[in-house]
Amino acid sequence: MTNKPRSRRRQSGDKQSKMVDAAINLAARQGWNSLSISRIAREAKIPFPEALVMFPTKRMILRSFQDRIDGAVAAETTHDPESQSPRDRLFDVLMRRLEILKPWKSGVTAIAHDMLRDPTGCLCSALSLNRSMAKMMECAEISSAGLQGTMRVHGLTLIYLLVLRRWALDDSEDLSATMAELDKRLKTTESILTRICPGRTAKKQD
């Protein structure tokens, strides 16, 4: 008796994962804007009424995918804050995120491309990405709270989007071009913040 609720939750989670996987894979082949929940449900082999209850909109599917990636990054985050600067920790966290995203690169790239044609979807996606970047900052042990934290999050979202464009074109096994782009963007941002706030070290901003 006690195992039944847990089993139902596991089945529900499995079906949600199937829907998310189907959506990302379909986006790689057919684009994102043209997809419907019913088409994704057929691909995932889940009855449409059940799929619609789980995900009334495609935006919710993307949010679930982002939550999955956020959780995977957090699960793999192990570092000694005393041995790395905040910038180095953030670099490691974001590269780990991009490594985790590699199996879905075609789908993520297609979704990002189509989002640019949908201003409303683009705005909602940016807000959702802000939440993910706040989590990435916390993984790097950098506060995302308060006005300064909010400014950092918005800045990191912009950096991430710029690096994501390079990542989409980076076919190297070690993502060397992506690493160089991320390192350059983070260093430039750190330099700008140092000029704006003279006397404040990276650790003081932590």
What confidence category does residue 9 fall into, taking pLDDT thresholds of 50, 70 and 90?
low
For 69-96, give one letter per residue: b (16+ CB within 10 A) or e.
bbeebeeebeeeeeeeebbebbbebbbb
DSSP type of residue 36: -
1-56 has which CATH code? 1.10.10
Q: What angle do CA 101, 104, 105 make, to 5 degrees?
A: 80
Answering whether pTM is above 0.75, one says yes
Which of the two residues, 161 and 8, has the higher pLDDT score? 161
User: Which position has the higher pLDDT, 116 or 168?
Assistant: 168
Distance CA 45, CA 40 (A): 8
Digit-coded pLDDT (tens) for 26-61: 999 999 999 999 999 999 999 999 999 999 999 999
Q: Would you say residue 62 has pLDDT above 50? A: yes
Q: Is the pLDDT of residue 198 over 60?
A: no
Q: Are 89 and 142 within 8 A, CB to CB?
A: yes
Q: How confident is the model at residue 23 (pLDDT cuts 50, 70, 90)?
A: very high
To the nearest whole number, what is the mean pLDDT of the chain?
86
> Which pLDDT does position 189 carry in this prediction?
82
Q: Mean pLDDT, to the nearest integer, of 9-38?
A: 89
Cβ proximity of 94 and 160 under 8 Å: yes
In this structure, which long-range contacts are made by residues 119-125, counting pairs with CB atoms below 8 Å and at least 24 apart in sequence? 121/59, 124/59, 125/59, 125/62
Q: Give the CB-side neighbour count of residue 49, counting CA atoms within 13 A.
A: 0
> What are the sequence ranges of the domains in the chain?
1-56, 58-205
